[in-house]
Structure 1
Amino acid sequence: MKNKVKYNISNVHYALITTTDEGFNFGVPVPMPGAVSISLDPNGEPEAFYADGIEYYTISNNMGYDGDLEIALIPDSFRTDILKETVDANNVLIENANSETSNFAILFEFDGDKHKIRHVMYNCSAARPSLAGQTNEESREVQPETLSLSSRPLPNGLVKARTGNDTNTEAYSAWYSQVYLPVEEVGGP
């Protein structure tokens, strides 16, 4: 049974990236409840090389994605793990201009008419969110927070992965227990 449509972002998680001498590791995915929307646009376009009076070669220029994640309220764990805010003795979150943010993978899914479509963006960074609000008028309106995200290729070239109609059940079920990494193809031509 194949999906015909997708809708409704949900089940957003983040996983901290740590670098080692051998490469990188991902932490256990941490839930970020309250997803409202996500919009990520491709960064980088193919560039043409001209020779002999024609477009001789096209250079791929995949620099990942840029966009926004709108969420009801950014969890404190994301603020401390990724944005590197600290917690003082009174449990107050402190932002320090000398702190460097951490990179992370972001995992999420869209509902489909047959099954959910799960995604992972491997190497993300987030800008500090804006601080905004407005007064209540005749009715209360929830004012979500927005994270500006950049997703770039990992050193090995990985940008993102997503489940499809024929994704292995085991890989699909384990999507949020650890960050999915590609498995070598078995067999071949």
Structure 2
Amino acid sequence: MGKVLHGLDMFHLALLTKDDHEGVTYEPPEPVPGAVNVSVTPNTESNTFFADNGAYEIFNSLGDIDVNMEVADLPLEMQKKIYGHQEEEGVQFASIEDTVAELALSFRAKVSTGGYRYYWFLKGKAQLLPNEYQTDEGNVTPQTAKLTLKFMPLQYNKRWKSQAEDKPDLNLGEKWFKEVVYKGDVLTPTP
């Protein structure tokens, strides 16, 4: 019997503070409660090479990766970190001088045969957060935060995503969200 993925929870964001040919550094991941949905679209281009009177090889190249993320709310403190907003006397200000942070995004989805599949998207930037509200008309209609992010490969190791499923020897549920998994030994405990 095959596996089917369903459900979504445990959004986490981690700010990327260094990415060069020598290494990668992230701040500790922070949970973003209220996961509603996420969609991931890698933008690729395919070129077919013809030889011997037919298609001989197909070359694929990866562009950026579009991620649309919807949450119940994006807390102001998280917006401040992501968008570089300034705060004065408890009021948060957006400015043309703001610098949007690079970040990593993680979440998990249930697997029908048991356990979860876990994901990290390793280096992206959020577009400005749109605002959309409507009046209550007898029934309360929740207003969610919809983030659009563009991801790209890391300079360090050219990876853009990591993913894994629960296995008895990995104990992913305890480790996956503690730090960004950009290489395999991140999950290996240090003695």
Q: Could you state the TM-score of these two structures normalised by the residue count of structure 1? A: 0.86
Q: Which residue of 1 aligns with 2:177?
A: 176
> CA shift at 1:64, angstroms?
4.4
2:116–2:165: 8 Å Cα contact kept in structure 1? no
How far apart, in 1, do the equivalents of 2:177 and 2:55 lie? 44
Equivalent pairs counted in the alignment come to: 182
One-letter amino acid of the counterpart of residue 79, structure 2:
R
- Give the unaligned 5+ runs of structure 2: 186-191
2:115–2:165: 8 Å Cα contact kept in structure 1? no
One-letter amino acid of the counterpart of residue 164, structure 2:
T
1:108-155 CA-partner distances (Å, limit 9, x unpaired): 011223011110000111101111100000110101010001111111
Answer with 134-143 or 21-30: which moved more: 21-30
How far apart, in 2, do the equivalents of 1:159 and 1:20 lie? 12
How far apart, in 1, do the equivalents of 2:35 and 2:19 lie? 31
More strand by share: 2
1:163–1:172: 8 Å Cα contact kept in structure 2? no
**Percent identity among equivalent residues?**
24
Answer with 39-48 or 132-141: which moved more: 39-48
What RMSD over aligned residues (CA atoms) do the two structures have, in Å? 2.2
Q: Which residue of 1 aligns with 2:189?
A: none
Q: Which residue of 2 aligns with 1:15?
A: 14
1:39-92 CA-partner distances (Å, limit 9, x unpaired): 11121133223456543433231234203101111122321111111211x211
Q: How does 1:84-163 map to 2 (within 5 A)?
A: 84-88=84-88, 90-113=89-112, 114-155=114-155, 156-163=157-164
How far apart, in 1, do the equivalents of 2:72 and 2:173 lie? 26
- Give the unaligned 5+ runs of structure 1: 185-189
Misfit runs of 4+, over 6 Å: none
Q: Could you state the TM-score of these two structures normalised by the residue count of structure 2? A: 0.85
Instruction: Give secondary structure in 2 for the equivalent of 1:129.
Output: coil
Note closer, same or farther for the CA distance 1:149–1:168 as it changes in structure 2 (3 Å cut). Answer: farther
